[in-house]
């Protein structure tokens, strides 16, 4: 299991989103409050963000625990973006441990993080060549990012094929966020300058709202929309 967070809104620094919140991803790497599967997230981390320099996102990923990344505290206050996606990893048993297995995964303008587990056998064979790693999350990401407009349908189909799957994902193309709650917690925070989606609240702001299980969340500059996901 993993923990992840995404932001869409006015530019915020990586430090504001990952390091400064009392229960942000840094602390969730060793002391998550809502994690039901696993106890720590020490198998790597990653963050992706967008800038005006190019349409594709920049990514920084590592197989080390995020608390061991000495340069992050120095760099994070200097990098700001209106769209950020980050995750800390608790690897599924038997999956690879190198940084290519750490989210966010990317294809073109899109990035995606998976919080959960899925049987790779239920995913199409054509997803494997495009996957950044052979881990379940990377193969799932390749399958979903091949057709982001079908994300909801593909999540529901994977969930139907593997009833034990946990399929919480965060995805973005820099202009919108897509997220699914399927088998684990997901929360949303609306603020005056943007929206946060996260596995669990990174502070005790009472404005956080829990997303019902089996729900698609769509965040655009116009607002937040929740749609029920139904297995085919």
Q: Give the chain as a DSSP string.
A: --EEEEEEEEEEEHIIIIISSTTSHHHHTT--SS--S-S---S-EEEEEEETTEEEEEEEEESS-GGG-TTHHHHGGG-EEEEEEEEE--PPTTS--SGGGSSPEEETTEEEEEEEE--GGGS-GGGGGG-SSSSHHHHHHHHHHTSGGGHHHHHHHHHHH-TT-EEEEEEE-SS-EEEEESSS--EEEEETTEEEEESS-SS--TT-EEPPSSEEEEEETTEEEEEE----
User: Is 2 marked active-site?
Assistant: yes
Of 2, 83, 102, 135, the catalytic one is 2
Catalytic positions, written as ranges = 2
């Amino acid at each position: 299991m993993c923990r992840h967070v995404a932001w869409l809104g006015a530019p915020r620094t990586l430090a504001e989103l990952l390091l400064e919140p009392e229960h942000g991803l840094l602390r969730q790497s060793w002391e998550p409050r809502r994690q039901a599967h696993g106890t720590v997230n020490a198998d790597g981390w990653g963050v992706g963000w967008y800038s005006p320099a190019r349409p594709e996102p920049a990514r920084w990923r590592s197989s080390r625990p995020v608390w061991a990344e000495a340069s992050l505290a120095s760099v994070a206050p200097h990098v700001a973006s209106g769209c950020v996606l980050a995750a800390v990893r608790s690897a599924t048993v038997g999956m690879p441990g190198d940084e290519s297995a750490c989210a966010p995964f990317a294809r073109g303008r899109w990035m995606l993080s998976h919080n959960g587990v899925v049987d790779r056998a239920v995913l199409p064979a054509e997803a494997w060549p495009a996957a950044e790693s052979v881990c379940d999350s990377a193969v799932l990401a390749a399958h979903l990012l091949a057709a982001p407009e079908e994300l909801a349908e593909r999540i529901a189909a994977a969930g139907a094929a593997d009833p034990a799957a946990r399929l919480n994902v965060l995805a973005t193309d820099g202009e919108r966020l897509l997220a699914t709650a399927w088998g684990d917690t997901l929360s949303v925070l609306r603020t005056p300058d943007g929206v946060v989606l996260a596995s669990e609240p990174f502070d005790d702001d009472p404005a956080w709202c829990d997303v019902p299980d089996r729900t698609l969340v769509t965040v655009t500059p116009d607002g937040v929309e929740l749609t029920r996901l139904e297995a085919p």
